[in-house]
């Protein structure tokens, strides 16, 4: 495994992290035994940067992770998040108030069975709570030793600057992939400037660029069924894009997942993607992306490919955009 620096620290994180969400939440095929084996395999491969959130499976994801994390505490840099209270129907209630955060951090520590969270994110900026107030409360957790570093997810440049005026922000977690490139213009350069690690979530476009996703076979409650890119006319476009992308990967002697992750890694050495999986074979595949040689010509080839399949569709429906978009 290759490693990248975390923020402006001496901490080295695996260039490919592990997103744990799909082990308990959002996507099809829960299998705790395989998920636990995947975490053990991550330890073998040196994948030391794991990502979760209190809302994934309403706490179940943190409990599952604790089974491997707690006995291997020194081998993993664990990131979790607070801010969403979710019910089983994916109705999200955003609450990043200091009062809720103080409860949420204790719950996460208890479920993860650890004393300190390495990286604690605000899952979204809550318009009801001034960013400075939220960050001030988060920084108290650092003083108390409950948290080591602070991060934000889907935050605007303005929010990052406000938060940074109170306490250093070490990581920004935004959706970033070949399909979702909004961060390229402002956020990725800003993170570079401010020594903030940029952590792309859904780096495989929620599995699309693996070219293994069959929307006819996923469960009815799979979150992607509610997203425009995975339904109707956009899905047709994107499925064809994924097929063409997979052909390109063959030419470049790698798998499609590796090509998609190598594309991300090539956009800056402060970028650490966290592909999500609960399968050892996928984890091993994704780990191989760190060794792919990627050239500027490859970026151009992918840009040209995107032009052939322009109808990718929006990230979210209007309903989800209101709850989940940048602030």
Known catalytic residue: 120?
no
Choose the catalytic residue: 56, 100, 120, 282: 56
CB-CB contact of 53 with 60 (8 Å)? no
Q: Which of 7, 13, 27, 280 binds ligand NAP (CB under 6 A)?
A: 27
> Based on CB atoms, which residue is closest to ligand NAP, 144 or 253?
253
**Can you tell me the distance from the alpha carbon of 156 to that of 214, in angstroms, rounded to the nearest whole number?**
34
Q: Which of 11, 108, 286, 287 binds ligand NAP (CB under 6 A)?
A: 286
For ligand NAP, how many residues bind (rule: CB under 6 A)?
Answer: 29
- Verify binding: residue 203, ligand NAP, rule CB under 6 A: yes
Give the residue carrying structure tokens 């590796």: 258
- Dihedral angle over CA of 106, 112, 118, 120, nearest 10: -50
Q: How far is the CB of 238 from ligand NAP (least distance, A)?
A: 13
CB hemisphere CA count around 92 (13 angstroms): 22
CB-CB contact of 309 with 244 (8 Å)? yes
- Verify binding: residue 95, ligand NAP, rule CB under 6 A: no
Which stretch of DSSP H or E encloses residue 122? strand 117-122
Q: Which residues pair with 155 in a beta bridge?
A: none
Q: How far is the CB of 279 from ligand NAP (least distance, A)?
A: 4
CA angle 201, 259, 176 (to 5 degrees): 20
> Based on CB atoms, which residue is closest to ligand NAP, 35 or 109?
35
Q: How far is the CB of 285 from ligand NAP (least distance, A)?
A: 4
Work out whether strand 84-86 and strand 77-82 pair parallel, antiparallel, or are unpaired: unpaired
| Active-site annotation, residues | 56
List interacting residues with ligand NAP (CB under 6 A).
19-22, 27, 29, 51, 123, 153, 173, 201-207, 210, 212, 257, 274-279, 282, 285-286
């Amino acid at each position: 495994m290759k490693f990248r620096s975390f923020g402006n620290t001496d901490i080295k994180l695996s260039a490919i992290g592990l997103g744990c969400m799909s082990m308990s939440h959002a996507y099809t095929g829960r299998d705790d035994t395989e998920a636990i084996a995947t975490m053990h395999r991550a330890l073998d491969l040196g994948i030391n940067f794991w990502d979760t959130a209190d809302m994934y499976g309403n706490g179940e994801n943190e409990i599952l992770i604790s089974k491997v994390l707690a006995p291997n505490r020194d081998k993993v840099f664990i990131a979790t998040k607070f801010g969403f209270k979710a019910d089983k129907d994916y109705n999200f209630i955003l609450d990043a108030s200091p009062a809720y955060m103080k409860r949420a951090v204790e719950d996460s520590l208890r479920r993860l069975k650890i004393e300190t969270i390495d990286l604690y994110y605000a899952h979204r900026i809550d318009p009801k709570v001034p960013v400075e107030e939220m960050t001030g409360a988060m920084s108290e957790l650092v003083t108390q030793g409950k948290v080591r570093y602070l991060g934000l997810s889907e935050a605007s440049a303005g929010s990052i600057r406000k938060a940074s005026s109170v306490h250093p922000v070490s990581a920004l977690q935004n959706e970033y992939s070949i399909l979702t490139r909004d961060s390229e213009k402002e956020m990725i350069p800003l993170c570079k400037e401010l020594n903030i690690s940029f952590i792309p979530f859904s780096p495989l476009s929620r599995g699309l660029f693996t070219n293994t996703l069959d929307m006819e076979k996923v469960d009815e409650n799979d979150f992607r069924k509610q997203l425009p890119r995975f339904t109707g006319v956009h899905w047709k476009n994107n499925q064809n894009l994924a097929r063409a992308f997979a052909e390109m990967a063959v030419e470049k002697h790698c798998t499609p997942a590796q090509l998609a992750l190598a594309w991300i890694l090539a956009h800056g050495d402060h970028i650490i993607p966290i592909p999500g999986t609960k399968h050892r074979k996928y984890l091993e595949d994704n780990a191989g992306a760190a060794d792919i040689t990627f050239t500027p010509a490859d970026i151009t080839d992918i840009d040209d490919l995107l032009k052939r399949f322009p109808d990718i569709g929006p990230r979210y429906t209007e309903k989800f955009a209101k709850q989940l978009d940048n602030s």
